[in-house]
Amino acid sequence: MYCRAFFYRTFFYRAFFYRTACPPKTDHSDLFSHTLSAILFLFLTSITASVNASSRPAITPLDTEPYSFKELQQAIGFYQTLNTLPWPVLRKTNKLLRLEDNHPDLAIMRHQLLLLGDLTAPYTTPHNTSDNAADTDTKANSAEYFDQHLEQALKHFQQRHGIKVDGILGPQSRKALNISPAHRIQQLALNIHRQNQFADKASQRFIQVNIPEFRLRLFDQNELLLEMKTIVGRKTRKTPVFDTHIQALVINPSWNVPKSIAFKDILPRWQEDPEYLQRKNLQVLAGWNSSRPVPAEEIDLTKMYQGNEYQRLWEPPGMGNTLGRIKFISRSQYAIYLHDTSAPRLFDEHNRAFSSGCIRVAEARQLADTLLSLSEPEDVSLEPILSHSRTQTLPLQQPVNLHVTYWTAWISPKGTLNFREDLYKRDRWQMQEHQQQLAEIIDKSSVPAPLETAQVALRQVHQQSLDTQTE
């Protein structure tokens, strides 16, 4: 109880988890003030959109804040309101639509983004004095025209859904836009349940790795110190959700190749290509405690990781080591840890599920320096150790808690509602597992009486958008 009460008092709670993990009792009047004004704005701009082109005034989209929330409980109330309307659905196709395109799908996307709050005006009449100004104005006034403001709204949607921000309507954006309000309600409730559990164990100093977000954050004394990209396990080799602590750093680590990786990835390639081990700087050792390489003529694949005289694969430390230059030692039943990488180019990818389960961090040196500064009374420089390739272990006097989470919905410190793809389909089975708890959470978020006006306004926006599509 004391830990939970302390956590509630922290700045981190006020700046981040106040919006996500442990919301106080929902202030529906505050929800009304934040949501109704935006909905009424949409309603008024939609009415404006129905006026003929000659009399329509120019509207500046996104000149007001998109819907913002203090907590996920409020977001459930918003989606409950959306759930009273038929949800427009884009057709499934690989067709890409971009700026200045004309297509019927764009009217549906415009409708969706209006209801979600990413787009705050149906479209804008540009000021055009060229010879083809009439034709340009007609396009701009069409719900099926991809104007700059629709592109900006789509980028905002992509940003908060973890989709590559390119302003192009492609398969990923279509899939996310088509997710129904009913599903979002369940997803939000599940993440409230997860984040409430997290709040019970969060300490003053901890690292969080959120798997679906591909991000790591380090907090100390309620302050965000570091944030960086991560690479997590691929769908067939999932990174598990767990809690542990980082107790030491290994500088210039070697890599003891796990049996599973050896049999799934390395040994089949080695059998096809006899030079594979040499190219990958891998050696065959005899037994676990031995550092003696097995002579080539004594290597026996039937002894790999089995028998009394088993042999195993090992990679010596160095610049090209698979684990990079730094490994973060932690204890867990999964033998999963954080480490550097020799392939930093993969951090340029948007979806970064590439590993065999362990977590690669983009700024390993920065994370190591920060952990050492927090743990050690005197400055510790890694430069002398990194100048050579000998392995050295540096225990942390104050171990740091590590929480590997699976959050697919949360509120940012600025009030933006974020969603992420259910990478491992964990949401699906946990919604079934926690049906009763989720029902109780949703019940607390039932739409209050003041939002009846907002519901009416949303229905008007919905109808006006439909009317606009048929003009």
Is residue 465 a part of any domain in this protein? yes
Distance in angstroms (rounded) separating the CA atoms of residues 42 and 173 = 22
Q: Give phi and psi for 314, each to the nearest 5.
A: -150, 140
Is residue 229 a part of any domain in this protein? no
Point out the residues that are catalytic.
339, 358
Domain ranges, residue 297: 255-316
Is residue 204 a part of any domain in this protein? no
Token pair belonging to 241: 């959700």
78 and 165 in a single domain? The answer is: yes
Total tally of structural domains belonging to the chain: 2
Distance in angstroms (rounded) separating the CA atoms of residues 191 and 420 = 11
46 and 130 in a single domain? The answer is: yes
Which of 63, 62, 64, 60 lies closest to 127, judged by CA? 60
Q: Choose one of 265, 287, 316: the last residue of a domain.
A: 316
Distance in angstroms (rounded) separating the CA atoms of residues 355 and 323 = 11
Distance in angstroms (rounded) separating the CA atoms of residues 332 and 243 = 8
163 and 36 in a single domain? The answer is: yes
Is residue 238 a part of any domain in this protein? no
Is residue 153 a part of any domain in this protein? yes
Is residue 31 a part of any domain in this protein? yes
**Going residue by residue through the chain (471 aa), what tens digit of pLDDT does each one get?**
334 333 332 333 333 433 444 444 444 444 444 444 444 444 433 433 333 333 322 323 333 345 678 889 999 999 999 999 999 999 999 999 999 999 999 999 999 999 999 998 665 544 444 555 555 555 555 889 999 999 999 999 999 999 999 999 999 999 999 999 999 999 999 999 999 999 988 889 999 999 999 999 999 998 999 999 999 999 999 999 999 999 999 999 999 999 999 999 999 999 999 999 999 999 999 988 777 899 988 999 889 999 888 999 999 999 899 999 999 999 888 889 999 999 999 999 999 999 999 999 999 999 999 999 998 877 888 999 999 989 999 999 999 999 999 999 999 988 899 999 999 999 999 999 999 999 999 998 755 444 444 555 555 555 655 565 555
Is residue 236 a part of any domain in this protein? no
Non-local CB neighbours of 188 within 8 Å, separated by 6+ positions: 72, 75, 76, 79, 409
Answer whether 224's CB lies under 8 Å from 299's CB.
no
| Type of residue found at 357 | G
66 and 164 in a single domain? The answer is: yes
Distance in angstroms (rounded) separating the CA atoms of residues 269 and 279 = 12
Is residue 342 a part of any domain in this protein? no
Distance in angstroms (rounded) separating the CA atoms of residues 211 and 408 = 9
